[in-house]
Amino acid sequence: MTKKNPLKVADRYLLSPHDLGPAELEKVFRHLMRHDIDYADLYFQYSRVEGWSLEEGIVKSGSFSIEEGVGVRAVSGEKTAFAYSDAITLPALLDAAHVTRAIAAAGERRRVAVAPRKTCPRFYSGDDPLASLEDRAKVTLLERLEHFAREADSRVTQVMANLAGSWEVVLVARSDGVLAADVRPLVRVSVSVLLEHGDKRERGSAGGGGRYDYAYFTDERLRAYALEAVHQASVNLDADPAPAGTMTVVLGPGWPGILLHEAIGHGLEGDFNRKGSSAFSGRLGEQIAARGVTVVDDGALPDRRGSLSIDDEGTPGGRTVLIEDGILTGYMQDLTNARLMGVAPTGNGRRESFAHLPLPRMTNTYMLNGDRDPAEIIQSVKKGLYAVNFGGGQVDITSGKFVFSAAEAYLIENGKITRPVKGATLIGNGPDVLTRVSLIGNDMALDPGVGTCGKDGQSVPVGVGQPSLRIDGLTVGGTA
């Protein structure tokens, strides 16, 4: 595993093949800066992406693509002009620059000299995962995953397994002279099983990944994914209908942090707060959560799915404390919203590709540990619900209202986990639910590396996490 020099890799894939260098980039910026704009940037991207899908022991589908292009952005006040091209050539760049100048009036000519940014910390290898296994070995990997699932339970009647990998090179050139690059690997495996017993059928799923190559998926890890998927389906096969009503809910560690991501995280992104459309707008310094609740967004975790050495605007990835001991202390910022709000960017400017504008987005968002033993939290509940895993959900950013479905849940009766239940949905309000946290476990865990976040039609990889949490008085919708 090597940590390649990103600027050298970016030059090899994005500049040199197209006869571009610092002089040509400066020419584009001179063209842009003839007009009175606050800021401009160029975002170059080269990516290789593949996907493999296996069902009933047969590879049913596969895909491979190579994409490259450049986005050109100019910003004046709150106005943004943007153009992109999948042709990385000087004429295409100049044409795009000409289009973006339409938002500004003529102004004083300013000279821009691009120069490499000082070396940024590197949080993952630059190795290409697609080249880390032969194609036959990738199929074998999926076949092993199916074998582990069928071996785990004779009631498994269907297995679907997927393998995905990408290798991305990005280069950001900015009108303030910054030139920064990143080389980003990303892999993911997922497995879904169908269990049948009599006239009952249930599905379970699991998976994981991160900024690794395919060597990450050892037999031990693949077996763990298969066992988790089978366990989830098996639990629901024997589950009772979930009760409904207001009750105490205990959330398990790790992936249940997706509720935190959706119900609270989006509301702490800079654009929603600058525009006043978030339930958390104008509340910096206020007590918005129970004491002991500390939430961070951290793009600097090694090898995690949501980590970024630099964001998609060239700002180094880092750790931002959003809520500290219940007090709202910050928002996640890209360059534009940070400038308009008079604060520093936090490394959260993200975009799906060169054809999209950057937005303030989460990276790895999680709650820090408390001091309670998870067993003690369960024992403290006379009657309630223990939610271990989540499926889909919906959130309204303005009001903070959310609805989430539990993929695996159990009743808690007299301080003990008892019967599994299915069909449970958690209903609440993000700002309100934080105030209802009464106990925080010491077992913080991050998700296995499966998260994808959507916003304004763009999808980006993210991470979530939390310790076990006791939340009092949460509304549960059930089927009982």
What was the pLDDT predicted at 106? 47
Tell me if 192 sits within 8 A of 156, measured CB to CB. Answer: no
- Dihedral, CA atoms, 246, 247, 251, 257, nearest 10 degrees? 20
Tell me if 300 sits within 8 A of 124, measured CB to CB. Answer: no
What was the pLDDT predicted at 458? 96
Tell me if 240 sits within 8 A of 420, measured CB to CB. Answer: yes
- Residue 65: which residues within 8 A CB-CB, separation 6 or more? 48, 49, 50
On the question of pLDDT at 199 being above 60, the answer is yes
The pTM for the full model equals: 0.94
- pLDDT digits 0-9 by tens, 84-133: 999 999 999 999 998 887 665 544 445 566 666 656 789 999 999 999 99
Amino acid, res. 126: G
- pLDDT digits 0-9 by tens, 356-365: 999 999 999 9
- pLDDT digits 0-9 by tens, 9-23: 999 999 999 999 999
User: Percentage of the chain with pLDDT > 90?
Assistant: 84
Q: Tell which wins on pLDDT, 398 or 375.
A: 375
What was the pLDDT predicted at 104? 57
- pLDDT digits 0-9 by tens, 67-95: 999 999 999 888 899 999 999 999 999 99
Average pLDDT estimate for 422-433: 92
On the question of pLDDT at 384 being above 50, the answer is yes
Tell me if 251 sits within 8 A of 387, measured CB to CB. Answer: yes
Average pLDDT estimate for 145-162: 97
Average pLDDT estimate for 231-235: 97
What would the two tokens of residue 147 be? 């074998």
Average pLDDT, the chain: 93
What would the two tokens of residue 86 be? 């999948």
Average pLDDT estimate for 3-14: 91
What was the pLDDT predicted at 98? 87
What was the pLDDT predicted at 114? 64
Q: For strand 359-360 and strand 349-350, is the pairing parallel, antiparallel, or unpaired?
A: antiparallel
Tell me if 364 sits within 8 A of 463, measured CB to CB. Answer: yes
What was the pLDDT predicted at 111? 55
- pLDDT digits 0-9 by tens, 396-420: 877 888 888 999 999 999 999 999 9
How far apart CA 376 and CA 436 sit, in angstroms, is 18
On the question of pLDDT at 393 being above 80, the answer is no
First to last CA, the chain: 52
What was the pLDDT predicted at 445? 98
What was the pLDDT predicted at 115? 65
Give the least confident one: 43-57, 139-153, 361-375, 383-397.
383-397
pLDDT band at 391 (very low <50, low <70, confident <90, very high): confident
Average pLDDT estimate for 141-158: 97
Average pLDDT estimate for 329-351: 96
